[in-house]
Structure 1
Amino acid sequence: MRRHTVSTAVALCAASLLGVMGTASAAPRAAEAAHTAQRQQPVDPVLVDCFWRPQLQPGDFMIACGDGNSLLTSLHWSSWGADSALAEGVNVVNDCVPYCAAGRFHSYRVIVRLDDPQPWKKHPQVRHYTRMSLVYTDGRPAGYGRVETYPLWN
């Protein structure tokens, strides 16, 4: 009887070990298939920030990286797609009067449009938006047009 118990235990251990090995050998194939499917899906472009980090639908975005005198805040994205992205928000701009260090910041409602996605030089497999247009909906900074378009860094 003892002999039957030992051989049953050995058989169960061997069967469970084969089951684990079968699952383990299937895991790399499943991971590879998922990776292949992920590569085949189109990935939406990113917005590259001042620190060269890719952003998707950021709530805030610094336009003037050098001096911080223009910032987008309270961004609410209505679309973010393969060709363009659209948001509403606020452009906070320094008036630089009498000079930028002594200037005051003013807020202006804007519609933000990102477009012209291109491969990102830092990561060519990633596309990034290369143009930003701001439409001022209620007032605008002195010297600005109703629509301002900026190239975005690469």
Structure 2
Amino acid sequence: MVCAGAALAAATAAPASAATGPPARARVAVIDCTGNAQVRPGQFMLACGDGNNVLTSLRWSQWQPQAAVAEGTDMVNDCKPYCAAGRFHGYPVHVRLQHPQLRSGHPGQWHFTQATLTYHGSRPADTAAVVTSRLWG
């Protein structure tokens, strides 16, 4: 299963509630494995615990308060015969981050709560063509 990172944003406009979504001028950023905010990262680790899944070569065509969209490569370790001896394989992927919410414990900061990966052609074994994951934040 693909795990994904969350997003964080500092609101730059009038306050909004989580029910209404971020203000139009909110700056939403994805949270990396160490809890740091990133906007339009070139790579993003999905498997923070073991590093066996990372999005690379990300080219963002959209980064708005409601959604962020990119094309890139999903690098996945096949873990054969076990993860330390496995090989990484790259799969072309469309990435969409969405469902922004206020980040708990961080007043005025927003984060995406969902990531959807859509594979173009080949994909990791036992993985659907479209995978949607809840993001932590």
Tell me the TM-score normalized by structure 2. Answer: 0.81
User: 2:87: which partner in 1?
Assistant: 104
Q: Which amino acid aligns with 1:98?
A: P
Q: Which residue of 1 aligns with 2:30?
A: 47
Larger Rg: 1
Percent of aligned pairs sharing the same letter: 49
The root-mean-square deviation of aligned C-alpha atoms, in Å, is 1.2
TM-score by length of 1: 0.72
Higher relative contact order (CA 8 A, sep 6+): 2
For structure 2, the residue ranges without an aligned partner over 5 or more in a row are 1-11, 15-23
After superposition, what is the alpha-carbon deviation per residue over 1:38-70, rounded to whole angstroms, capped at 9, x for unaligned? 544621321111010111110000000000000
Aligned-partner residue type, residue 99 of structure 2: D
User: Where has structure 1 moved over 6 Å in runs of 4 or more?
Assistant: none
Report how many aligned residue pairs link the two structures.
Answer: 117
Match of 1:117 among 100, 103, 107: 100
Richer in strand (by share): 2
Query: Any gaps of 5 or more consecutive residues in structure 1?
Result: 1-37
Give the direction of change, closer, same or farther, for the CA distance of 1:142–1:126 in structure 2 (3 Å limit): same
Q: Deviations over 1:62-119 (max 9, x none)?
A: 0000000000000000001111110000000000111111111000000000000011
* Greater per-residue helix proportion: 1
